[in-house]
Amino acid sequence: MEPKPRTSPAGRYAGGPYRVAQWSTGTIGRRALRAVVSHPNLTLAGVYSHSADKHGRDAAELCDLNTPTGIRATGDIDEILGHEPDCVLYMPQAWDIDEVCAILAAGANIVTTCGVFHHPPSMDPEIRARVAAACSAGDTSIHSTGSSPGFITEAVPLVLTSIQRRLDSLIIEEYADLSQRNSPGILFDVMGFGSPPTDFARARLDHLRDSFGPSLRLLADGIGLPLDTVTATGEVATAGHTFTIAAGTIEQGTVAAQRITISGEHQGRTVARFRAIWHCGADAETGWDIRPTGWHLSVLGDAPLEIDMVFPFPLEEMAEHSPSYTANRAVNAVGYVCAAPPGIRTVLDLPPITATLG
């Protein structure tokens, strides 16, 4: 397939319309799919699903819309690429380098919520080289984004530091009350709630360091304070009594809350820190300072700032609202990524992402 010519200056948003394929229809993918269908400058060009029971079903059915789109889900990558999308919104649970390279080499740009591309210099060199070669072959770009990491660890801090001439430290805190999240697999199997505290393994800390560290490195590069080291530490609070949350039961003595800190040092000084405080509600009885679900940012410098960004809805509505925080930014980035020069593109390469709402 011949790559499509770019019709806009590098790094600027081109108005479209862009043909967009949605790759995967999980929680985030379904929300992105709805946004593409309703977007004034995007046209749905295909839907890929890993689930055979979704194949052949109209995209509208998969994302709870009433009006059929005429686009049916498939599990065939050649069928997706045959529709010649300008961009693929790539949102699988686990990414596949062969899929990514095939999409890019075929001439389709990618916006993804997979975090491996946040900081190209710290990527595995072999993977980075393969992806770069695919971008070159297809004259395409790939960009990873999301809410956390992404929006809160890159886009917002870059704005806040734009009024500083001296930065002593930037601290990002994420608070999440998970008591009403009915996702047992995520809370118990992935995050480790309800497990003995001894099971809170080093491997999990390393995983979170690798998830958030690249984003902090990108931020630090952007403000001229590149990080020498990124470390992760963690602590847990255990349940004083057995209690029940939406996902299941937290037994007495098992993990009911966790506080993870990812710290980045520049010349022996911690200049950027991300701290996640994830807990199972008031019954967790952590003894920690717990803010409402959302984010708190503290900027210490010659123009100090303290900012709260709170999710202004009841916890019972979290499932309704939370997917938008990740999916919408990816959808809004499509035009910018399609207009960017070939390669792995970060927020430092793109203009500020602006939504087109009408």
At residue 314, the pLDDT reads 93
Residues 258/175, Cβ–Cβ less than 8 Å: no
At residue 64, the pLDDT reads 92
What number of residues does the chain have?
358
At residue 5, the pLDDT reads 46
At residue 14, the pLDDT reads 59
CB-count exposure of residue 357 (10 Å: 0-12, 13-18, 19+): exposed
In angstroms, the CA 69 to CA 47 distance is 11
In angstroms, the CA 343 to CA 9 distance is 15
For residue 242, the SS3 value is coil
At residue 260, the pLDDT reads 95
For residue 303, the SS3 value is coil
Q: How many CB atoms are located within 10 Å of the residue 223 CB?
A: 17
Helix axes of 125-138 and 97-105: crossing angle, nearest 10 degrees: 20
At residue 13, the pLDDT reads 54
DSSP β-ladder status, 255-266 and 229-238: antiparallel
At residue 15, the pLDDT reads 67
In angstroms, the CA 79 to CA 82 distance is 5
Q: Name the strand (E) or helix (H) holding 276.
A: strand 269-279
| pTM of this structure | 0.92
Domains of the chain from N-terminus onward: 18-145+333-344 (3.40.50.720), 151-316 (3.30.360)
pLDDT (tens digit per residue) in 208-232: 999 999 999 999 999 999 999 999 9
Report residues of the chain scoring pLDDT below 70. 1-15, 199-200
In angstroms, the CA 350 to CA 100 distance is 20
Q: For residue 302, list its beta bridge partners.
A: none
pLDDT (tens digit per residue) in 95-126: 999 999 999 999 999 999 998 999 999 999 99
At residue 289, the pLDDT reads 92
At residue 253, the pLDDT reads 95
In angstroms, the CA 17 to CA 158 distance is 29
